[in-house]
Amino acid sequence: MPRFAANLSMLFTDAPLADRIDRAAKAGFAAVEVQFPYELPAATLRARLDANGITMVLHNLPAGDWAAGDRGIACDPARQAEFRDGIARAIDYAQALGVQQINCLTGKAGAAPSDAITRATLVENLRYAAERLAKEDLRLLLEPVNGRDVPGFWLDSVDKALSVMDEVAAPNLFLQFDIYHAQRSGGEIAGTLTRHFDRIGHIQVADNPGRNEPGTGELNFGFLFSLIDRLGYQGWIGAEYKPATTTEAGLSWLATYGDNA
């Protein structure tokens, strides 16, 4: 059975970030992930992880000003220096927190004069990031995000992400496969998982429509989780969904599908 990591940027959000670790442990999660841990010192988060016996499996590179609408800066040629500065900070947090994979959100196209320049900027930045992370024995993840939820997001499909990965050609660059975003952008979840399994470094999950708990929408998670097991996935699956009510009220799916012991 799969093992699930609570995404602390989506779950237990009525509590401060550090307290969400306590809540996740009490709810039965053995691991967590977070989009941006940078609001707290890494030592504060590490202490709370250790106190609860919780593993942190993932965080993102800094992605600009989220409140102002940024959803990543990796494809913006005007922000390359900012992107590269963020890599060092992300590595520091990963090393302090025991995280082995760091995810990159490419962001919106921005003010680049052409799509070709946007793509070239992203490829250059990913090569730089992958090289920096490889020196620390870390993996870089690349996440496509559907354009319905985030209009203008440049890397808006799995196929586009794989094409960019081919061009970057870094051995430590893997796909972050978010089942919700993949369903919204193209579907064919089982086939995509099977065809590209060896290139997937991390899986995340939410149901569609609504991006709520598994079991609330159209996706057959019993089938998908069994497939992921048969394919031999050894990682954690990030529970990155919006609870329909409260996090705890919607956790019956974890007992149905999970094996976090």
CB 24 within 8 A of CB 11: yes
Catalytic residue among 82, 143, 188, 213: 143
CATH number for the region 3-257 comes to 3.20.20.150
Structural domain spans, the chain: 3-257
Catalytic residue among 39, 124, 240, 248: 240
The encoded tokens of residue 190 equal 């089982």
pLDDT digits over 160-205, tens only? 999 999 999 999 999 999 999 999 998 899 999 999 999 999 999 9
240 in catalytic set? yes
Whole-prediction pTM: 0.95
Structure confidence at residue 109 (pLDDT): 82
159 vs 75: CA distance, rounded Å = 17
Q: Which residue carries 């996935």 as its tokens?
A: 233
240 vs 58: CA distance, rounded Å = 12
